[in-house]
Amino acid sequence: MRARLMVVVVLIDLVAAAISGAVIIHKARSATEVETAASLAVVEPLVAETLQALQDAPLPGLFRTLALRFQGLRHVRVTLLDAANQPAGTGPRHEGRRRAPGWFAALIAPPAQRHEVPLVLRGARIGTALVTAEPSDEIDEVWGYALALGLTGLSLSLAMLAILYVAFGRILSPLAQLAAGLTRLEQQDYGARVDRPDTRELAVIAARFNRLAEALGAARAANLRLHRRLLTAEEDERRRTALELHDEFGPCLFALEANSSSIARIATTLDEPARGRLTQRTDDIAAIVKRVQTINRALLNRLRPAGLGQVPLARCLELLVREAARHHPEIAVEGRFAPLKDGYGDLVDLTVYRCVQEGLTNALRHAGAERVSVAVAEEADGSVRLAVEDDGAGLGPDRGDDRTGGRGLAGMRERVEALGGRLALVPRVPGTALRIVLPAGPETPEEASQCPASSWSTTTRSCCAGPAGCWKTPAPRCARPRACAGATGRSCATGRTWR
């Protein structure tokens, strides 16, 4: 913006210089015409006065006297001719030390003027004085004035431009800070603030920008807390549903299988054809029970990954990668899990597991890759970095998959952002990389302040003090297990279901 303002100022200076030059040329031309006309008007009275004073002088002396008198005239050149029109004397042609350029002289010089003054002595014409306008000395003077004025104006303009450049920089620096702040807001960095400038108008804009950033930050924090609570409620509901399926539905299926086996044993004591028909029915019931048990195990794994929270996170991820490789033997699937802690909190562990699961599913189903790699590592600041990379066809509008805008990626992004993390789907050559960074530790400052220090589990980074903590932390990981009165779930202390 400063460059544009400087260009505008330079254009204004050029226009002003052009107008000033036009005015100077017009005034100089008019002044030259006046000066030349005045010099022409002086010649004739000067000739008459000289001839009157030298009535008895010889002609050669008279012409020399006239030539000497004409030496003091400016802006004209006088040529003396005798009666035979032969040159008898010429006034000197004044040459200045400073000559104006031809283009400037052409602009200033008035139209050429020539005037004849007869020389009459005692009633007889003795010659002629040819008077020619000679404005060169006047043009030289005007050129000198114009050159001095132009150099002075140029110096002042350069000084003014330098001052304006510095002033614009100081005045517009708050706008540069404001633009940088808007860029940070666009990148969802709501901690951006700008300093209060000295200019009152810009100070108002800066104050409103800071209030806007503060409001956006508060709204984002509220949204993150809401998302986190929704995730917690969703996982609690999944856990409770999984418990019900395991504790209620599982025993019922086992009872069906046991009764079917008992009926099969009773059928062996019967005679044909009743024994054969009854045996076939019990085999059908046993097959249906096994099928339902398989579906039930799959539902339990989707609702709550088996072992998550009870075995180290790295071990759960290794099992997940191994299972994906078993179902897709034509694709090389590898996992690299740097030394990780046993857990980083229930929500962080679940998010890492779900993101690896979804990233693997997308890469195996849609990428057309020959190799898929998963890497999870802990950074120096305690955050968890996750990457799922493949060497497939990459992203494209004609791919027809859901990796760029499907529900799977949207769900991952919501989970990651709810925990204050970052997710990026990055094209690479060849293939695509899913990169996620999750901060580890207490989910919110509020949760950390509400959880007593003695109840905070450094192993799982979870609070085991209240009902919510009991829902979030499995029994083997609870630092200080306690009964959760007034809630429905699994007790940290006993692992049993309470009402």
**291-295, 351-355, 361-365, 468-472: segment of lowest average pLDDT:** 468-472
pLDDT value of position 121: 72
**69-73, 160-164, 414-418, 433-437: segment of lowest average pLDDT:** 69-73
- Token reading at 280: 């076939």
Q: Tens of pLDDT along 215-266?
A: 988 888 888 788 778 878 877 887 788 877 777 777 888 888 888 888 888 8
pLDDT value of position 74: 67
Comparing 70 with 6, which gets the higher pLDDT?
6
User: Average pLDDT in the 38-49 region?
Assistant: 74
User: Average pLDDT in the 474-494 region?
Assistant: 37
pLDDT value of position 491: 37
Tokens 């304006």 map to which residue?
Answer: 164
Tokens 């099928």 map to which residue?
Answer: 291
Write the CA distances from 60 to 42, 80, 84, 118, 131, integer angstroms.
23, 11, 14, 17, 20
pLDDT tier for residue 110 given thresholds of 50, 70 and 90 = confident
Is the C-alpha dihedral spanning 30, 33, 35, 41 positive or negative? negative
Strands 497-498 and 432-438 turn out to be unpaired
Encoded amino acid at 161, one letter? L
Strands 432-438 and 384-390 turn out to be antiparallel
pLDDT > 60? residue 472: no
Average pLDDT over the chain reads 75
Comparing 55 with 91, which gets the higher pLDDT?
55
pLDDT tier for residue 473 given thresholds of 50, 70 and 90 = very low
pLDDT tier for residue 159 given thresholds of 50, 70 and 90 = very high
pLDDT > 80? residue 196: yes
pLDDT value of position 401: 44
pLDDT tier for residue 450 given thresholds of 50, 70 and 90 = very low
User: Average pLDDT in the 154-182 region?
Assistant: 85
User: Average pLDDT in the 352-365 region?
Assistant: 87
User: Average pLDDT in the 132-151 region?
Assistant: 81
**188-192, 210-214, 277-281, 392-396: segment of lowest average pLDDT:** 392-396
To the nearest 10°, report the CA torsion of 184, 188, 191, 192. Answer: 20
- Token reading at 417: 């952002």
Tokens 């200019």 map to which residue?
Answer: 199
**30-44, 207-221, 346-360, 446-460: segment of lowest average pLDDT:** 446-460
Comparing 127 with 482, which gets the higher pLDDT?
127
User: Average pLDDT in the 94-98 region?
Assistant: 49
What percent of the chain lies above the pLDDT cut of 90?
Answer: 4
pLDDT > 60? residue 30: yes
Q: How far apart are CA 59 and CA 80, in angstroms?
A: 12
Comparing 87 with 334, which gets the higher pLDDT?
334
For the chain, what's the residue count?
499
pLDDT value of position 463: 45
Q: Tens of pLDDT along 288-338?
A: 888 888 888 878 777 777 677 778 888 888 888 888 888 888 889 899 887
- Are 369 and 391 a contacting pair, CB within 8 Å? yes
- Are 392 and 432 a contacting pair, CB within 8 Å? yes
pLDDT tier for residue 436 given thresholds of 50, 70 and 90 = very high
With CA atoms as reference, report the closest residue to 375 among 396, 394, 390, 393: 390
With CA atoms as reference, report the closest residue to 335 among 360, 370, 368: 360
pLDDT > 70? residue 397: no
Comparing 410 with 440, which gets the higher pLDDT?
410
With CA atoms as reference, report the closest residue to 323 among 307, 310, 338, 339: 307
User: Average pLDDT in the 274-301 region?
Assistant: 83
pLDDT > 60? residue 361: yes
- Are 131 and 116 a contacting pair, CB within 8 Å? yes
Q: How far apart are CA 361 and CA 400, in angstroms?
A: 15
Q: How far apart are CA 413 and CA 402, in angstroms?
A: 13
Residues 6 or more apart whose Cβ sits within 8 Å of residue 152: none
